[in-house]
Chains A and B, each alone.
Chain A
Amino acid sequence: MSARDQLLEHRPSIVVAGLGTTFGVGLLGVTHVLEQVVADSAVASSGTVSTLLGAVASVFVGLALYVGAIVTANTFATVVAGRTPTIALMRLLGSSARDQRRAVAREGLLVGLAGAVIGVVVGVALVVVAVRVLVAQGHLPDLAYSYVSVGGLVPAVAVVLTTVAAAWVGSRRVLLVTPLQATDAAQDVPLSGRNRRVVRTVFAALLVVGGGLSLVAGVVVGLADVTGVLVAFAGGVLSFTGVVVGSHALMPAVLHAVGRAFGPSQVARLAAENAVRQPERSTRATIGVVIGVTLVTTLSVALETLRTFIHTLEQDPTYAAELDRFFSTTLLVVAGLVGFSAVIAAVGMVNDMSLSVLQRRRELGLLRAVGSTAGQVRRMILLEATQMASTAIVVGVVLGVVYGWAGAQALLGSANDGALIAPTLPVPLLVGLALTAAVLAGVAALVPARRATSVTPVEALAAR
């Protein structure tokens, strides 16, 4: 395989590493600049402020890197699956499985380094431009800013490490490739191995159940006392961790259910099966979007419910308007910071669709040969993408509404004389997410669908 082909295969991973680094370096750079502004204004508690800013920024950066690592692990797993014949040939010629896996991990290192370098350059440039613009407009004092701190480069190092780790995790299947597969690539490899991760599933179930109970307890305690919100928060963190840990069991099940909703036609049925044929791959492709959407929805629902509640108490129109502005700004900033992880996850989902369709060329050729029209094949791919995108977003919204409401309820229950409060649903956000799902599905399906139907059935059947 030429270096150019490898670069093409890894381009999405470089993009993900680059996005993660840009976000991390950029956010920490902004934090760094803000610290200097605060220090300059000589607020007594500037040390506390910068610690707080740094901590908050780290949480968002950590989230983006975590999602990025999931996406990259998935991409590497997909790339390895596509390279099975080559790896098998190398094994046949005497290379050990460990050597082959190490080679993939080395590629991960290169990908991480490339992404980190690009990300540092872009991230620092963005901060410089943003600060200069704000200074020129008079929003920031004209100081001799330093834009990068040593700590501000930590995300770049973290990206390199997580990318290598992701490549290592994603290359696990290299160990399963047998030399014999070089001699007969004709048979489709059986769908990925049985899920024997019982311990993990049980652990996840315990987290979900325990966290869920804690969430309920938080709501109940909150009816009497405002400290209930802390209990609910712990419950939310625990149960959502459980959801992520147990995603290998949850996501395929939900994908399957959503797939059935698309109807009994052959095209829909094939699409539904495709979306769960590689459960691990589909899980990783969707869970990042689930994480991003859940967090954005949780925050929106909690803040909107809080705003509605305060409005019922506060009658002064001037103060109410100010309050609205405050809530809107907070929501926008926080949603933007969390949403970045969702963007990285979306890149991963598009990439997953693209690669998996590419690796199914022969099967698509067979379908064309036995009588699927080009339109049917395109619809199948579009439905598959729609299924993934809508499943991820629906799961995220449902979880987010539950968490957001529970948080607001636990916080406000006692102030509401121990009565329940209806959640306020942020309609613009929900509409926006629905549109995002549609766009995401369209983008994820567009290129693969065109590529899949641009070749004759004979060419597709001859593909390996």
Chain B
Amino acid sequence: MNDTTSATGATRASSSDPTTRLADPTPGGAAPVARVRDVTKSFGEGEGRVDALRGVSLDLPAGRFTAVMGPSGSGKSTLMHITAGLDSATSGRVLLGDTDITGLDDTQLTLLRRRRIGFVFQAFNLVPTLDVSANIELPFRLDGRRATADERAWIDRLVGTLGLGARLTHRPHQLSGGQQQRVAIARALATRPDLVFADEPTGALDSKAGRDVLEVLRTATTDHGQSIAMVTHDPVAASYADRVVFLADGRIVHEIDRSSAAEISGVMLDLERVA
């Protein structure tokens, strides 16, 4: 059961390995951790065809917290799924670091997700049969290994910061929704991935627990330079991001830097009016 010898090559330490993160930051600004180029995505054929994405290009800067907003059906989730290697584009290219992930097969994509991307979904983030500790270590264990001493120290720190120390042997159903999301965040950050992808991470939480989760994500970026992309339709959640990208009808229609929830709501309302 050992998948460390993978189709994508050797370990991350090797500099020639295409799966290592992008070096070569461009001077004067953060190099993008992910680049989306003219991506389209269609579902169905003929009459019933739905174009979820109609030519989207987007850079996700490294070390920044980017929010992707848009009304239901705008294609924001589809865009993020494709960027994170969970789904394939109909056309266009997605680069994670220097890796063109549009050309990868299923196993290569899986290893990419395991080693280079962290996930936090709206709900059902945790494997119910595993305790908190095993859920956090899942990406390492799936790689057929234990966390190294260095990784172990990082996980311990995350567990401490997220206040999960007393919960490590609990099963997911013994935790509150907010605690479950914090475990998911710990897992997502544990591998120090190139990009953490959060899909409505506060959607199932009450506002207090939601604010805590957003604060944790915010801190991961400010304190550790973690690149994060978050899909949300909640202006309060988006106000924690460095940058907000607006999607409507499968196209990027607007983009603003860090703003208050009120300003973001204003943009959303304007977009609704135009539509």
* Nearest CB of chain B from residue A148's CB, rounded to whole Å: 50
CA gap between A251 and B32 in the complex, in Å? 54
* Stretch from A93-101, A131-139, A264-272 contacting the other chain: A264-272
**Interface residue tally on A, bucketed by range:** 35 or more
Nearest A residue to B138 by beta-carbon distance? A370
Query: Once the chains bind, are B172 and A376 in contact (CB under 8 Å)?
Result: no
A366 beta carbon closer than 8 Å to chain B: yes
Q: Check: A367 CB closer than 8 A to any chain B CB.
A: yes
Is A432 positioned at the interface, with any CB of B under 8 Å from its CB? no
A369 near B127 with CB under 8 A, answer no
Which residue of A187, A273, A376 contacts B130 across the interface (Cβ within 8 Å)?
A273
Contacts of A184 in B (CB 8 A): 204
* Contact between chains at A373 and B119 (CB < 8 Å): no
Q: Which residues of B contact A269 (CB under 8 A)?
A: 134, 141
Q: Which residues in A have their C-beta under 8 angstroms from that of B204? A: 184, 186
Chain B residues, Cβ within 8 Å of A451: none
Whole-angstrom distance from the CB of A16 to the nearest CB of chain B? 28
Tell me the residues in window 148-198 of chain A with beta carbons closer than 8 Å to chain B beta carbons: 184, 186-191
Distance in angstroms from A384 CB to nearest chain B CB is 11
Task: Give the size of the chain B interface in residues (CB under 8 angstroms).
Answer: 38
B residues 97-133 near A (Cβ < 8 Å) are 106-107, 110-111, 113-115, 119, 121-130
**CB-contact partner of B173 in A187, A379, A458, under 8 A:** A187
Q: How far is the CA of A430 from the CA of B114 in the complex (A)?
A: 42
Q: Contacting B142 at CB < 8 Å: which of A189, A266, A274?
A: A266
- Residue ID in chain B nearest A367 by CB atoms: B127
A376 touches B128 (CB 8 A): no
B134 proximity list for chain A (CB < 8 A): 269
Q: How long is the Cα–Cα vector from A269 to B130 in the complex, in angstroms?
A: 9
CA distance in complex: A369, B188 (Å) = 11
The listed residue (A266, A277, A369, A371) touching B128 by CB distance below 8 A is: A277
Closest residue of chain B to A453, judged by CB? B106
Contact of B110 among A190, A191, A363, A371 (CB under 8 A): A371
Interface membership of A456, Cβ < 8 A: yes
Question: Which of the listed residues B1, B114, B121, B123 has the most CB atoms from chain A within 10 Å of its own CB?
Answer: B1
B81 and A363 within 8 A (CB): no
What residue of chain A has the Cβ atom nearest to residue B129's Cβ? Answer: A273
Tell whether A263 is near chain B: CB-to-CB under 8 Å.
yes
User: Which A residues lie within 8 Å of B107 (CB)?
Assistant: 373-375
The reply to whether the CB of B215 lies closer than 8 angstroms to some CB of chain A is: no
Chain A nearest CB, measured from B4 CB (Å): 12
Interface hits, A95-135 → B, CB 8 Å: none
> Do B1 and A371 have beta carbons less than 8 Å apart?
no
Give chain A nearest CB distance to B9 CB in angstroms: 15
A366 CA to B126 CA in the complex, in Å? 8
A184 to B177, CA, bound (A): 12
Confirm or deny: B75 has a beta carbon within 8 angstroms of a beta carbon on chain A.
no
A379 x B110 contact (CB < 8 A) = no
Complex Cα gap A369–B128 (Å): 15
Mask of A359-400 contacts with B, CB within 8 angstroms, 1/0: 000110011111111111001000000000000000000000
**Residues in B whose Cβ lies below 8 Å from that of A189:** 173
Judging by beta carbons under 8 Å apart, are A366 and B124 in contact?
yes
A457 at interface by CB-CB < 8 Å: yes
Closest to A267 in B: B1
Contacts A370-B113, A370-B187 given: A376-B173 contact, CB under 8 Å? no
Given A187-B123, A265-B1, do A374 and B128 touch, yes or no (CB 8 Å)? no
How far is B87's CA from A240's CA once the two chains are assembled, in angstroms? 53
Answer whether A270 and B139 are a contact pair too, CB < 8 Å, given A265-B1, A371-B110, A375-B107.
no
A335 to chain B, nearest CB (A): 37
Contact B173 A188 (CB under 8 A): yes
Q: Indicate if the CB atoms of A371 and B111 lie closer than 8 Å.
A: yes
Q: Give the Cβ gap from B243 to chain A, nearest Cβ, in Å.
A: 25
Interface string of B1-43 (1 = CB under 8 A from A): 1110000000000000000000000000000000000000000
B171 proximity list for chain A (CB < 8 A): 191
Inter-chain CA distance A370–B81, complex, in Å, is: 13
Contact across chains for B127 and A371 when beta carbons are under 8 A apart: no
> In the complex, how many angstroms separate the beta carbon of A82 from the nearest chain B beta carbon?
16
Distance, CA A345 to CA B217, complexed state (A):
51
Residue from B3, B88, B111, B127 within 8 A of A366 (CB atoms): B127
Contact in complex: B1, A376 (CB < 8 Å):
yes
Check if A461 is an interface residue, CB within 8 A of chain B. yes
- For A461, the chain B residues whose CB sits under 8 A away are 121, 124
Q: Is the CB of B111 within 8 A of A266?
A: no
Please name all residues of chain A whose beta carbon is closer than 8 Å to the beta carbon of B3 when the two chains form the complex. 373, 375-376
Which chain B residues (135-165) contact chain A, with CB distance < 8 Å?
A: 138-139, 141-144
A191 contacts across to B, CB distance below 8 A:
128-129, 171, 173
Q: Which residues of B contact A187 (CB under 8 A)?
A: 123-124, 173, 177
Give Cα A191–Cα B173 distance, bound, in whole angstroms.
Answer: 8
B81: nearest residue on chain A (CB-CB)?
Answer: A458
**Residue contact B2 to A265, C-beta cutoff 8 Å:** yes
* Given A263-B1, A270-B129, A376-B1: A371 in contact with B124 (beta carbons within 8 A): no
B126: nearest chain-A partner, CB-CB: A366
**Neighbouring B residues of A379 by C-beta, 8 Å:** 1
Q: How far does the alpha carbon of A370 sit from the alpha carbon of B115 in the complex, in Å?
A: 9
Distance of A367 Cα from B129 Cα, bound (Å)? 12
- Contact between B130 and A368 (Cβ–Cβ < 8 Å)? no
Q: Is the CB of A372 within 8 A of B110?
A: yes
* Contact of B124 with A376 in the complex, beta carbons under 8 Å: no
The interface residues of chain A lying within 8 Å CB-to-CB of B144 are 265-266
- Within the complex, the shortest CB–CB distance from A223 to chain B, in Å, comes to 50
A363 and B127 within 8 A (CB): yes
Shortest beta-carbon distance from A354 to chain B in Å: 19
Which 8 pairs show the lowest CB-CB distances between chains A and B? Answer: A371-B114, A265-B1, A273-B129, A266-B141, A186-B123, A190-B173, A188-B128, A267-B1
**Besides the known contacts A371-B110, A374-B107, 14 further A-B residue pairs in the complex with CB atoms under 8 A apart:** A188-B173, A191-B173, A363-B127, A368-B110, A369-B86, A369-B113, A370-B142, A370-B187, A372-B142, A373-B107, A373-B110, A374-B106, A458-B81, A458-B86
23 residue pairs from A and B, CB less than 8 Å apart: A186-B123, A188-B172, A188-B173, A263-B1, A265-B141, A265-B144, A266-B144, A269-B134, A269-B141, A270-B129, A273-B129, A366-B126, A367-B127, A369-B113, A370-B138, A370-B187, A371-B139, A372-B110, A373-B106, A373-B111, A375-B3, A458-B81, A461-B121
